[in-house]
Amino acid sequence: QHGGWRRKTLIGDAKFETVANKEFQKQERRLSKADSFCAEEGFAPGLLPDAFPDDYLAFNVLVTLREGLISLAKVIRVFENGKIFITHIESRKSRSEKEQHQLFMQLVCPHSAYENVCSAAKQSPLIRDVTLLEEKEPEKKDHWIPLHISDLDRCTHLVTKFEPDLDYDHPGFADKEYRLRRKEIADIAFEYKYGQKIPTVEYTDEENATWQHVYVRLKELFPTHACKEHVEIFATLEEECGFSEHQIPQLEDVSNFLRTTYLHTYIDTYIHTYINFSTCISYCAPPFPRDCIHELLGHVPMLADPKFAQFAQELGLATLGVSDEDIEKFATLFWFTVEFGLCKENGQLRAYGAGSLSSYGELANCLSDNVTVKPFDPATTAVQEYKDDDLQPILFVVESFDDMMLKMRQYVASIERSFEVTYDPYTQSVKTLDHNAALEGVAKGLQNDVGTLMHVMNRFNKPV
């Protein structure tokens, strides 16, 4: 009834990664400071102690001494005589053989005196040099991104958010046979590697009965609730790929059909992601998740549509190399489009999101008066709170897939990242556009495509 929404969602996973990465960056910063002279984390340049007026400035300096620590008291007096307050001081042996010691000092002074601090201190015979310091940040490291479809083998394996092993409320918590079956299918998924034949799963009578229960109810709703792209491709899947209420299709059969019928290179990526990240939930009692139903009845028909598949592909590419905060926003956009999106069709609302299309409860709900429908705007949609423990109360509607694509491209163009990427369907790999040679390769590809297009257009326009 509710379908597969009670899963570990992309948004939840993105939020977890954001928190984890921030903690990692804190640890990196501590290590960076410990390796530098600014060893104490509690002090930072520009942080003005409460005891000073707002027109005072806090900053750090590194003072190189001529005569060693024996002159420390006199050096302190040099700064104090200049009406400069010392809030923190450390000493260390100099890294240079010529000088004996250096002082790290945190100072506070009026803005008017700031520019003369270094020059005034250097006039003292006790001080060889004074250097203004800025907080040392940890060295930026390149983020790893999957560049080839086989790299997905290295990505995180996700099962579900609602775990029978962990959640007492799960109906399978006390069902030892169910938990063993769940683990059996999960192990098949997790052990799969790119290039292998997708394993065959022998589904039980109970599992096929669950499939039939949902399949029949969804098929009744598709003509009046699903978008035309889904309706048309679903009919093709029934006619030519063996989709029926009687048994769960095998992923290898679906993959081969999509590859030979629709010629979409991205389908391999989709199927591979599914077998890695999903498990079939066999427990019959609704409203608990059935991931194979979600993927096969929700995602497969939509991803077989070229225009929608291109949108999903570009949305995925847009996440590569962006900040954790932007990843959360893109995950939210994925939720309200690919999972629970609505579109306009002949003046009527229709569902194109897989979360709705694979759940008869969600599908009936999404076009009801229980839902607040808002126009799709990426900047607004990206920060909308989502709900994964009940039927969706808020959904977003697009005017068309073309309009959705245009708005998303404009939004992506406003996001900062250190490099751009493009997808090469011939090698099933992502290319980073961070040097001239990469740009030249893309330009040549475009030039060839334009040349072919012009040749065909000229032939069509040639008089008979």
Q: What is the pLDDT of residues 120-177, one digit of tens each?
A: 888 889 898 888 886 554 455 567 788 888 888 887 665 554 454 545 555 555 778 8
- The predicted pLDDT at position 362 comes to 95
Whether 431 shows a pLDDT value over 70: the answer reads yes
- Where in the sequence numbering do the catalytic residues fall? 294, 299, 339, 358
In a domain, 371, yes or no: yes
One domain, residues 83 and 202: no
Task: List the alpha helices (DSSP H) in 140-265.
Answer: 176-191, 205-225, 228-240, 251-261
Show the beta-strand stretches assigned E in 218-347.
342-345
In a domain, 29, yes or no: no
Within this chain, do residues 109 and 219 fall inside the same structural domain, yes or no? no
Tell whether 354 and 445 lie within a shared domain: no
pTM for this one?
0.67
Backbone angles phi, psi at 374, to 5 degrees: -115, 150
**CATH code for the domain of 113:** 3.30.70.260
Q: Are 371 and 431 found together in one domain?
A: no
Same domain flag for 75 and 223: no
Answer whether residue 24 is part of any domain: no
Q: Tell whether the model's pLDDT for residue 36 goes beyond 70.
A: no
Domain-embedded: residue 23: no
Which are the contacts of 201, defined by CB distance < 8 A and separation ≥ 6? Answer: 185, 188, 248, 250, 280
Give the least confident one: 30-34, 339-343, 405-409.
Answer: 30-34
Q: Name the nearest CA neighbour of 107 among 46, 66, 39, 65.
A: 46
- Residues across the chain: 464
Question: Are β-strands 56-65 and 127-133 bridged in parallel, bridged antiparallel, or unpaired?
Answer: antiparallel
Whether residues 148 and 83 share a domain: the answer is no
- The CATH number linked to 262 is 1.10.800.10
What is the predicted pLDDT for the residue at 390? 84
pLDDT at 110: 86
- Binding site listing: 294, 299, 339
Q: Nearest CA to 158 among 274, 18, 19, 322?
A: 274
Q: Mean of the pLDDT values across residues 230-237?
A: 97
Domain count across the chain: 3
The binding site for Fe cation consists of 294, 299, 339
pLDDT value of residue 248: 93
**pLDDT the model gives residue 98:** 63
- Could you say which of 84, 107, 133 is where a domain stops? 133
Give yes or no for residue 203 having a pLDDT over 70.
yes
427, 408: one domain: no
The pLDDT assigned to 273 comes to 36
86 is a domain residue: yes
DSSP three-state, residue 373: strand
Alpha helices in 97-170 (DSSP H): 111-114, 117-122
DSSP-based helix, strand, coil % in the chain, nearest 5: 50, 15, 35
Confidence (pLDDT) at 353 = 97
Residue keyed to tokens 């050096």: 75
Are 363 and 239 in the same domain?
yes
Range of weakest confidence among 93-102, 273-282, 301-310, 379-388: 273-282
Determine the 3-state secondary structure of 455 from DSSP: helix
Looking at residue 41, its pLDDT comes to 37
Domain that holds residue 70: 37-133
Assess if residue 386 is contained within a domain: yes
Distance CA(332)–CA(212), nearest Å, equals 31
Nearest to 305 by CA among 406, 408, 405, 229: 229
Q: Work out the average pLDDT over 304-312.
A: 93
- Tell whether 154 and 123 lie within a shared domain: no
Q: DSSP string spanning 296-350?
A: IIIIHHHHTSHHHHHHHHHHHHHTTT--HHHHHHHHHHHIIIIIT-EEEETTEEE
Domain end, chosen from 79, 98, 133, is at 133
The verdict on 129 and 213 lying in the same domain is no
Beta bridge pairs of residue 99? none
Return mean pLDDT, the chain.
80
Note whether residue 428 is domain-resident. yes
Q: Which of 30, 12, 44 is nearest to 159 (CA)?
A: 12
Within-domain flag for 255: yes
* Whether residue 379 is found in the same domain as residue 291: yes
Do 176 and 110 lie in a common domain? no
Residue where a domain terminates, one of 133, 161, 187: 133
